[in-house]
């Protein structure tokens, strides 16, 4: 008698996994507004009623799939931190970060997605700032975060030709000096106004 409920639980788990995978893919491809419950159910080869039964609403489903993968914590000296940030960027360029792209694509039209992106980025930047040069550490972390998200968007969402086709290690190599300069370099003084 215990085998029957177990089979049902396994079937439910498989269906939920298919729904989550379909939702993750559709939210990443078309954004929050255009990914309907009906389309998600069709992609998961299930009934729309089951999507609602398991997840309650489109918002709840979105909240479960639109999360940033948690990167490794940044550690060490500012030069070591810069290399870790470059390695994390290279990994995001090598494999489409589907969860992050889901949130990024949807953030322009869905307030919860914008909040998710901002929250994830702020947490990441606050943690990284502890390992960057002390002067303007949070600004340094924010600039590196902006470079990272801009590069990921350019490659995976906008599919800019050269950026889309370049090997991830080549992109990281071209950004290495800039990331290191931001992470621990001495800021350039402001140019003086010319004497008149």
What are the tens digits of pLDDT across the range 27-60?
878 878 888 999 999 999 999 999 999 999 888 8
The span from the CA of 156 to the CA of 97, in Å, is 9
pLDDT at 69 over 60: no
Place of tokens 């998200």: 149
Domain ranges of the chain: 3-65, 78-184
14: Cβ contacts below 8 Å, ≥ 6 apart: none
Instruction: Return the axis-axis angle of helices 58-65 and 48-55, rounded to nearest 10°.
Output: 70
- Environment class of 167 (CB within 10 Å of its CB; exposed 0-12, middle 13-18, buried 19+): exposed
Share of the chain above pLDDT 70, in %: 91
pLDDT at 59: 82
Mean pLDDT value across residues 123-143: 93
Superfamily of domain 3-65: Homeodomain-like (1.10.10.60)
CA angle in degrees (0–180, nearest 5) for 135-140-143: 155
């Amino acid at each position: 008698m215990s085998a029957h409920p177990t089979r049902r639980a396994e079937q439910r788990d498989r269906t939920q996994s298919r729904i989550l995978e379909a939702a993750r893919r559709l939210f990443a491809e078309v954004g929050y507004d255009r990914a309907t419950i009906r389309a998600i159910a069709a992609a998961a080869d299930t009934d729309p009623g089951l999507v609602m039964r398991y997840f309650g609403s489109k918002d709840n489903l979105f909240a479960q799939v639109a999360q940033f993968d948690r990167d490794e914590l940044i550690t060490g000296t500012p030069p070591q931190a810069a290399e870790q940030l470059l390695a994390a960027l290279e990994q995001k360029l090598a494999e489409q970060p589907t969860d992050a792209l889901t949130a990024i694509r949807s953030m322009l039209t869905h307030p919860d997605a914008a909040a998710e992106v901002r929250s994830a980025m702020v947490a990441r930047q606050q943690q990284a700032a502890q390992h960057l040069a002390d002067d303007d550490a949070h600004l340094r972390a924010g600039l590196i975060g902006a470079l990272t998200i801009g590069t990921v968007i350019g490659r995976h969402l906008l599919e800019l030709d050269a950026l889309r086709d370049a090997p991830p290690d080549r992109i990281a190599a071209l950004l290495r000096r800039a990331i290191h300069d931001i992470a621990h370099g001495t800021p350039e003084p402001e140019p003086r106004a010319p004497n008149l």
